[in-house]
Chain A
Amino acid sequence: MKIIKVGASVTQSNDRDAALLREELRAKGQLMVNLMSSPGSGKTTLLSRLIRDMKDVKIAVMEADIESAVDAERIEALGAQAIQVHTDGMCHMDAGMTRASLEALEDDGAQLIFLENVGNLICPAEYDTGAGLNMMILSVPEGDDKPLKYPLMFEKSDALVITKTDALPYFRFDTALCTARAEKLNPGISVFPVSAKTGEGMTALEEWLRGKLTAWQAGTQKEA
């Protein structure tokens, strides 16, 4: 027996797969957005709104869930390409699973591909999926203290979308405090308070996404 010094992170192979996938997508002009949140934060409702509002951009959605196809059916009903990915109990998506999902999507030229990660604020933040952008959702009913409880998720995200702002009158949720807590963890994070139901705040988020897509296609988007 001989001893071999490895000195590599356990996730090294995943990081490499993710970097490769990211470059392949960039070469095709496709921006993949890794969407992370708790269950019930309104991911599918937000995506439905984005698809309806952003008719100028071709959008596809990969819905990762442990079971069922209810989310993908909702997206397809809006006319966007969607697939349901079953993770068979796994709590997050990694680069290999994402690649397999993209192959199953049988891409027909989508510019913006949303990967709806498993509803969970912990493990999805630890695995690079190969996405060009990481976006997280925090809904008003979940509370403004989540940046304190799940710091890694906020550190890894390029954008924080605060959903269900139409419910603000009914909850003690301080948007400014939540934003300050998120910015303390991640000074570069962009924060968008929105209501996918009323449409409030959606324009700013959509403009941000369009800007990121243009920059990505121009090759100037920094590595996620």
Chain B
Amino acid sequence: MHEMGIVLHLAKTLDETAEQNKLTKIGRVTLQVGEVSGIMTDLFTDAWDYFKKKHPMLEECVLELETIPGVTWCDNCKKTYETVKYGKTCPHCGSGETWLLQGNECIIKEIEAE
């Protein structure tokens, strides 16, 4: 259900972009999805394929997903590490004083349209 909600928001943003740029058909949309955004890409693609058939402007639109890796910053030793592998605890020094730098995004990078 969560993925369908994101598809609806994506479609709304695409509608607005189409209106601003006077587009009638979108052939491709490239989405950047963070590794720790909580978005299940398989489910998301299914939801998209279901939704686009009901939306004339998006009927033939191909969804391309790019992954943004999760990177965490350790405030204690001032180093970064892979979020997915180590979670909240810094593998360099064992500190929990860590913050996610990137990886929870869901950004529409670009669209191909006419």
Closest beta carbon of chain A to B27's beta carbon, Å: 5
Q: Could you say which of A5, A7, A11, A92 has the most chain B C-beta atoms within 10 Å of its C-beta?
A: A11
**Choice from B4, B31, B88 contacting A10 with Cβ under 8 Å:** B31
- CA of A126 to CA of B2 in the docked complex: distance in angstroms? 10
Q: A4 with B110: in contact, given A90-B5, A94-B5 (CB under 8 Å)?
A: yes
* Distance of A12 Cα from B5 Cα, bound (Å): 13
Docked pose: A6 CA to B16 CA in angstroms: 11
The answer to whether B113 and A1 touch across the interface, beta carbons within 8 angstroms, is: yes
Residues in A whose Cβ lies below 8 Å from that of B31: 10
The reply to whether A2 and B113 contact each other, CB–CB distance below 8 Å, is yes
The answer to whether the Cβ of A14 comes within 8 Å of any Cβ in the partner chain is yes
What residues of B have a CB within 8 angstroms of the CB of A10 in the complex? 6, 9-10, 13, 31, 106-108
* Cβ-defined partner of B105 (8 Å) among A9, A13, A90: A9
Interface contact A123-B2, CB-CB below 8 Å: yes
Chain A residues with CB below 8 A from B66, complex form:
none
A122 at the interface (CB under 8 A from B): yes
Determine if B27 and A12 form an interchain contact, defined as CB atoms under 8 angstroms apart. no
Closest chain-A Cβ to B51's Cβ sits at a distance in Å of: 13
Is the CB–CB distance between A9 and B2 below 8 Å?
no
Which residue of chain A has the shortest Cβ distance to B37 in the bound complex? A126
Can you name the residue of chain A whose Cβ is closest to the Cβ of B14?
A6
Q: Which of B13, B23, B88, B110 contacts A5 (CB 8 A)?
A: B110
Report, nearest first, the 3 A-B pairs whose CB atoms are least far apart: A6-B108, A10-B106, A13-B12
Q: Can you list 10 A-B pairs, Cβ within 8 angstroms, ordered by A?
A: A2-B112, A4-B21, A8-B17, A8-B107, A9-B105, A10-B13, A14-B9, A14-B12, A91-B2, A184-B96
> What residues of chain A have their CB less than 8 Å away from a CB belonging to chain B?
1-14, 89-92, 94, 122-123, 126-127, 148, 184
B residues touching A (Cβ–Cβ < 8 Å)?
1-2, 4-6, 9-10, 12-13, 16-17, 21, 23, 27-28, 31, 38, 88, 96, 105-114
10 more A-B residue pairs beyond the given contacts A4-B17, A90-B5, A94-B5, with a C-beta to C-beta distance below 8 A:
A3-B111, A4-B112, A7-B107, A8-B108, A9-B108, A10-B6, A10-B13, A13-B9, A13-B12, A90-B1
